[in-house]
Chains A and B, each alone.
Chain A
Amino acid sequence: MTTNTVFLLFCAVLLVLGGVAFTLSRAKASRVRATGTAMHAQPDQYAWFAVLATAGPALLVSALGAFALLLMGAEIPTLYLLSASLIIATIGLVMGLSQVRPDFHARRAIEGVIRKLLAAAAMISILTTLGILLSIITEALRFFQMHSFWDFVTGTTWNPGASFLSAAGRGEEGGSAAQFGSIPLFAGTFMITLIAMLVAIPFGLGAAIYMVEFAPMRIRKAAKPVIEVLAGIPTVVYGVFAALTVAPLVVDIAGLFGLDASYSNALAPGLVMGIMIIPFISSLSDDVINSVPNSLREGALALGITKGEMVRNVVVPAAAPGIISASLLAVSRALGETMIVVMAAGMRPNLTANPLEDMTTVTVSIVAALTGDQEFESAQTLSAFALGLVLFVVTLTLNVVSVFMIRRFREKYRVNNL
């Protein structure tokens, strides 16, 4: 018998047992009820409890068994495991049936199980974070065993290409050794992020201010969905746009000024990433500016202040913590953005301040390290996790600071509203 058949058979038997549990216990509960005895729960609730008692432990045992089989390499024949589960299911059925008693709180028992299930689901998000952290940190540590952390942080040359030689035990004869100095990668990342922010913050903030403070309702209603559409465009599409349309355009325009630009210049992905982030900043700032209390606006206008002065001197300063918080989130997004830079930025680590040259970023290097035909143990593959760790720490810090600021902003206005 193949595994699939066994598995199907197991499911079918379990289903049948569950059905039996349901019918039997409901019939029993109905009989008891018919005698006029007051029961703590409805017959259906007893029936569902019996089903839970049948299927729950059996599934748990088989899942644990499967886990042990896969991970610990334990030698448990599948057939034994499944038969054991089925026996447990039968025992559960009998137990469930015997619990059909007037004084048993079947509903409370079911709800206890449901509550635990819900809590277990909530723990998955914690597990995810732990998973990310664990996977990145362990692999990054392995990387730092091979290459010094100090070189990684302070080195100015990123040249992982030769690392497969040393992985193959031929590091000595491979000529130049692999170098993992991450500074050029971070320089490229910050350059592109900076360009993106120079585009995104003025435009996003301007659009938000216009929508909240000046635009008539009609325009506001029309513009919001447009901005939402902009936010829903996948990054790979922006990447194509950056590589196919904007990059050649940048080269042409630079040529007009007599400047020499690379086709994978840093300006094109920066600009397009900025455009990508406009809706992000604009919708966050929109919320923030909207939540500046109207009483402040009225207070300013009642002093004979013009609308523009009111926006500049009262509304924007009041919203500033929220706007800064939105901008930090946007920076964090730009740092972690992958597709645009993979498609439009260069692959050559390049420490330069000229955005017309090609530069590479942290995310590009992660992708490059993991898409080649490398074996998992090589330093190049592991370097991706070291870079990922830094990326995680930086974005996490930005997020935490941003959450902290937005919370202070909200508290301030709750207090001020008395």
Chain B
Amino acid sequence: MSQSFEEISAQLKKRHRRSARMKWMTMGALILSAAFLVVFISDMVVRGWPAFQQAQLQVEVSYDEQSQKLPLAAVDEDVRPLISRGFFRSLPREMENNPELMGTTQTRWVIADSRVDQFLKGNEDRLRPADKETLQALVEDGRAALKFNTTFFTTGDSKMPELAGIASAAIGTVMTMLVTMAVCFPIGVMTAVYLEEFAPDNRLTQLIEININNLAAVPSILFGLLGLAIYISFFGVPRSSPLVGGLTLALMTLPVIIISTRAALRSVPDSIRHAAFGVGCSRWQVVRDHVLPVSLPGILTGSIIGLAQAMGETAPLIIVGMVAFIPDASISITDASTVMPAQIFTWASEPNSAFAEKTAGGILVLLAVLIFLNALAVWLRNKFERRW
């Protein structure tokens, strides 16, 4: 009737092999998913790294009457085509601001044209043969070099790749996020507090709950349609402004904050509430003095994750027009503005290949910010997580 261990083990060999195969296959799925992250990040780093470098040339700039009128005359004719047009444009203003420069000749590093930049980075060669010779001579003299690209972090968008930067997009992102959080943090927390602590268990409450869960799964682009139809067409909020973008993202982030705040409130054990009721606190006092302080880390964690999500969102902002070309950011929530992901989108659709590295560079900056935010949230959660 019964078999010996040896017999059973012999029968089991094949089944164990199948079991092991399943283990390896599922492990493979995990490893491949993780490998993708590695491929992805390294691809972005390889593409984006050059964006943090910029070709500069050491040239003699003569500040005189002529170059004030005709900035191109400030440098030698043969290096002229190698220098960024943006430099010449800024020259008259520089001279106005620094009158003591007048009549002098300075040897200084100036930003090179993007063709030079791309050539020095070994990407593509669109220089004329004569210019290339000049450039090679400069390189041999050590007067042309790739230096750290501060322009990328200090300027806004530009049609000249060598002058394009993410500063105005970053400012736009900050303004938009301020609007978003100012709207959705209080409303989200209040909603969650109401649903968890005050709401009677009736049809309306259930409707609100179902509604919030559904709202969390509505495609983000539909929030863009809402923003366009209600905020812009109906209320007349200025298009492309951080105000409309922020309000749109606020509605999108609201369910994230509500759901995580509710989870945080729910994790506070009832014994704490009962203890507070027991010493004569009213419901509001219980919430304000006992429940909210204890659940604050959880609420903050959820809000940071919501913030990170909103910060990376692009689709609804395209619909409300936040993909504008913004060379100079203005610190006002009603002026046209752009945000970092939208800037990345704009650069990605530029035909000039010099913008490809800007795209990847922008992605690296954005990812760095988002990973920092997520890490902060994880750290907060681990530090303050309490098991009751």
Contact = CB atoms under 8 A, between A and B. Distances in A.
A touches B (Cβ under 8 A): yes
Nearest to B227: A135
A329 B255 contact: no
B222 A336 contact: yes
A367 B345 contact: no
Contacts of B27: 210, 214-215
A146 to B, nearest CB: 17
Contacts of A58: none
A117 interface: yes
B198 interface: yes
Contact of B217 (A114, A122, A333): A333
B23 interface: yes
Nearest to A120: B190
Contacts of A236: 312, 314, 341-342, 344-345, 348
A128 B29 contact: no
Contact of A240 (B186, B193, B315, B344): B344
B275 to A, nearest CB: 20
B282 A111 contact: yes
A392 B18 contact: no
A327 interface: no
Contacts of B226: 128, 131-132, 135-136
Given A115-B284, A125-B258, A370 B319 contact: yes
Contacts of A311: 22
Given A210-B29, A306-B16, A122 B191 contact: yes
A237 interface: yes
Interface string B293-312: 00000000000010011011
Contact of B191 (A121, A134, A135, A392): A121
A273 interface: no
Interface string B197-213: 01100000001101111
Interface in B9-49: 12, 15-16, 18-23, 25-30, 32-34, 36-37, 40, 43-44, 47
Nearest to B210: A403
Interface stretch (B70-78, B121-129, B148-156, B230-238): B230-238
B88 interface: no
Contacts of A134: 230
A7 to B, nearest CB: 14
B367 interface: yes
A202 B29 CA distance: 8
Contact of B30 (A223, A237, A370): A223
B251 interface: yes
Interface size class of A (residues with CB under 8 A): 35 or more
A384 interface: yes
Interface in B338-355: 341-342, 344-345, 348-349
A366 B199 CA distance: 39
Contacts, number: 269
B315 A235 contact: yes
Residue among A118, A209, A399 with max Cβ neighbours from chain B (10 Å): A118
Contacts of A111: 282-284
Interface in A234-285: 234-237, 239-241, 243-245, 275, 278-279, 282
B218 interface: yes
B251 A128 contact: yes
A232 B370 CA distance: 7
Interface string A162-204: 0000000000000000000000000000000000000000111
A238 B171 CA distance: 23
B208 A126 contact: yes
A136 B229 contact: yes
B26 A237 contact: no
A338 B284 contact: no
A396 B218 CA distance: 7
B344 A366 contact: no
Contact of B22 (A128, A129, A308): A308
A356 interface: no
B359 interface: yes
Contact of A206 (B30, B47, B207, B212): B30
A391 interface: yes
Nearest to B371: A229
B315 to A, nearest CB: 4
A409 B345 CA distance: 41
A228 B33 CA distance: 12
Interface residues of B, number: 93
Contacts of A308: 15, 18-23
B312 A235 contact: yes
Contacts of A371: 318-319, 323
B360 A126 contact: no
Contacts of B370: 232-234
Contact of A367 (B44, B47, B217, B221): B221
Given A136-B225, A210-B30, A232-B371, A126 B348 contact: no
Interface in B261-311: 282-284, 305, 308-309, 311
Given A124-B191, A338-B221, A363-B221, A206 B344 contact: no
A243 B348 contact: yes
Contacts of B217: 329, 332-333, 395, 399
Nearest to B23: A214
B221 A203 contact: no
B194 A119 contact: yes
B319 A367 contact: yes
Given A111-B282, A125-B258, A399-B213, A227 B374 contact: no
A345 B235 CA distance: 34
B190 A240 contact: no
Contacts of A306: 12, 15-16, 18-19
A115 B199 CA distance: 9
B261 to A, nearest CB: 11
Contacts of A366: 221, 225, 319
B146 interface: no
A376 B342 CA distance: 22
A119 B207 CA distance: 13
B163 interface: no
Given A70-B236, A115-B198, A214-B26, A388 B193 contact: no
A131 B366 CA distance: 31
Given A119-B199, A126-B208, A234-B311, 12 more contacts: A117-B190, A132-B226, A215-B30, A230-B37, A233-B40, A239-B345, A243-B348, A306-B15, A338-B318, A343-B345, A385-B229, A391-B219
25 contacts: A114-B284, A131-B230, A132-B222, A132-B226, A136-B229, A215-B30, A226-B34, A233-B367, A236-B341, A240-B348, A241-B44, A244-B348, A244-B356, A332-B217, A336-B219, A337-B219, A338-B221, A342-B315, A342-B318, A366-B319, A367-B319, A376-B233, A388-B225, A392-B219, A403-B213
Shortest 8 CB-CB distances between A and B: which pairs? A336-B219, A234-B312, A206-B29, A308-B19, A135-B229, A121-B190, A210-B26, A118-B194
